[in-house]
Homo-oligomer: A and B are copies of this chain.
Amino acid sequence: MFLINIDHIGIAVHDLDGALAEYRRQYRVEPVHRQIVESQGVEEAMIAVGGSHIQLLQPRSEDSPVGKFLASRGEGMHHVAYAVVDLDAALEHLRAEGVRLIDQEPRIGGGGARIAFVHPKSLAGTLIELVESP
């Protein structure tokens, strides 16, 4: 099996500071990392939970992918990210199976990781991100 872990669950929010304050108040958790990822048009914060993370995503503009998601669906779960050992091999396998990809080649995501997104129409309406484990 090439999925080695749930790296994170991405959750779209309107107000990152407000969402972090609610996570702190309700679940006593703190972000371990926070950054602006210009290439994705978001500011993100990562909260560690066991060996995985909750990733809160606030769009930087209404026409970014997360901005459009918020406009059409409202706040909530946006994607699930799986850690893989070898992202190039995973994408080659998915292409060979005829799976519809968003990213044909790996790109750099938050924290400098190599990532690629798989289209939600490929698998039960779920936007899947693959993250190469460093």
Q: Name A residues whose Cβ lies closer than 8 Å to a Cβ of B.
A: 1-6, 9, 11-13, 19, 22-23, 25-29, 49-52, 54, 56, 73-77, 80, 82-83, 94, 97, 99, 120, 122-126
Contacts and interface: CB of A to CB of B under 8 A. Distances in A.
B11 A126 contact: yes
A80 B9 contact: yes
Instruction: Name A's interface SS.
Output: mixed
A45 to B, nearest CB: 12
Given A12-B124, A27-B82, A50-B52, 18 more contacts: A2-B27, A3-B27, A3-B49, A3-B50, A5-B49, A5-B51, A13-B124, A22-B122, A25-B97, A26-B97, A26-B99, A26-B122, A52-B52, A56-B124, A75-B125, A75-B126, A76-B125, A77-B125
